Structures are given as C-alpha cells and as structure tokens.
Chains A and B, each alone.
Chain A
Amino acid sequence: MITREEIIRLTNEALKAEFELTDEQLVPTAHLQQDVGLDSLDAVDMVVVLEQKFGMTLRQGYDIRSIVTLNDLYDFIEKLAREAGK
C-alpha cells in the first residue's frame, strides 16, 4: 500500500517537473491558485500528469474543483489510491 509520504513525494515531483515549481512553493497549506499559481487550465494538465504518475484515473466520479490546497490534493489522491487498493 502506498504511504502518504510517498504520495506527497510523487505529487511534488510531478508538479515540480511540469510546472517548474520550487520546494518552497510546495508546502501542504499552499493554495493551488493563489500561492502555487495554477489556474483552471493548468489544473487540467495537473490532472493528466498526476494520472500518469500514479497510473490511475483522477477525473471520474469526484469533483476535482473542490481541491483548493496541496493538502486537499494529497488527501484526494490518498483516498483514490486506497479505493484502488494501491
């Protein structure tokens, strides 16, 4: 079973590579739009890179728009990973 630490590491790794972010920006309380600087169109790309990173679909059955902070994003992926038995 994938651990939360592993989820955080992989998520940050993917976000840093795609969006050229720094470690300082990727604190769990960071607001994805205001602090990290991702807009709605970036969010679409974020979902694609995370799906690729974790090998699971993030788009079906859940409202991704409810994700506001990085912590929300980690929670969301953790929940999906548990459901998928990863």
Chain B
Amino acid sequence: MKTRYLRYGLQTIILMLVLYAAFGLGSRSFEAYCPFGGMESLWGLFTTGQFTCALGPLNLSMLVGILILALIAKKAFCGWACPIGFFGDILNKISMKIFPKRPVIGGKLKGWLKLTRYLVFFISLYFTYKLGELILRGYDPFYAIFTGFKGHATLGWITITVTILIGIGSLFIPMFFCRYLCPLGATFDPFSRLGLIKITRNEETCTKCFACADICPHAIAPHNFEKVRHRDCTNCLECIDACPEEDTLELKLTI
C-alpha cells in the first residue's frame, strides 16, 4: 500500500476531529488545539503568568508534544497531521492534474520567498505580545473557514481576499501556505534539522532519475542528499514511494 493513503487516512481523521470542534460539538474551540497558540502564549505566561486572549494550556502542551516529535521525526506533524498541510496537499494534487506545467520558483528567489514565513512568525508574535490579541486570526484563512467567516476577529473583505489569494497561490505553487506563510513551520525549522528519523539515499543504487524530486511537494531534491536534513522535509515519504530502485531511499534512524 502506498504510504500516501495511510497518511491521508490519518489526516482525514484529524480533519474530522477539527471540524467536530469547529462545529461547536467538542468541549473546546478548535483554536484550543493549535500548537502555534502555544508560541503566542509564551510572552503572556512569562510576564503575567496568564494566557493571552483565548489561548489555554492545551495550546502549550500541544506545542511541547509536537516539538518533541520534531526532534525525533522532523516535521512529521506537518506531513501527517496538520489539516492545513492536508488541504495544501490535496490542492497540490488537483492542481497537478489541471496545470501539469506549473511555474517553478528556483534560484535565489526560492530562498528569499521562504523567508516570508519568518516574517509572518515575527510579526504575529510581536503584535500578539504587544497588544494581547491574537492578531493573526483576522488574516488566517483557516480560522475564517472553520468559523464560517463569522469568527470574532474576522476582518470582512480583508479575510476573504487573503483566503482567495492563498487558494489561488496553492493552485500554482505546491504547499504555498506551508512554504511561505506558516508561522508554525518557522517554529519547527531549527528542531526539524535535528530530527533523528530522516530519509537517506544510497548513492550506489541511485540512478538520479529525479522521480523523487518531481514528486516532492516541498521541492526538495532528495537525489542531492545522502541524508535529507532539509528543514522543509515533512517525512511524507512520497519520494520513497516514487523511487523505482529498491532500497535506495529509506527511512532511517540517524544521528
């Protein structure tokens, strides 16, 4: 069985649980489970000993759990659990069918654009810490969607425009939100590089057919690495499934 189906199965279950909470059927708001909320709560906890705005202990404990996971299995949370990543992945697969020849962002531009997620990370934390409000909510398409555009902090046409732009961006650039805008991804980056479980490549059997590079949703080129330490790797294992050579790309515990 392709690993993708196992991954989609787990992501579907998690998405259903998020929707269950978003429809108000759980004891908490779906926001209470967001690990980035843990980052947003840190300053308030440090300075006043209290959680900021609507944040609570679950945000922080989820962040801790997932950072430990990142130290073990890199960004496996992004590839195997995050409903936002799931949406991005599905949109990417649809887009591949509609636009088989999408523009490829390469070179220095690719590197510079990736810095935008750090910008989102710092701006959101700075203003959340300064104002005591979750300022990202008004621009967060997923908050907008899960609250039916009726959430407390929704900014009307601004939120709708941002949601549409991210949708369009996702059709042309694979994992657009994850690559360029996700502040949680920026939080994981330093931990992800240290992750113990990673994909490795056997140079002797690799034919450099680029099948792994073509399928990678994050445009990592596994054929260039002996061990894929890349900060964007979510251990989604698409490359292992795509590799035509036996025992060439493997999942390994490495130090």
Real complex partners, A and B?
Answer: no
B residues with CB within 8 A of A:
none
A residues with CB within 8 A of B:
none
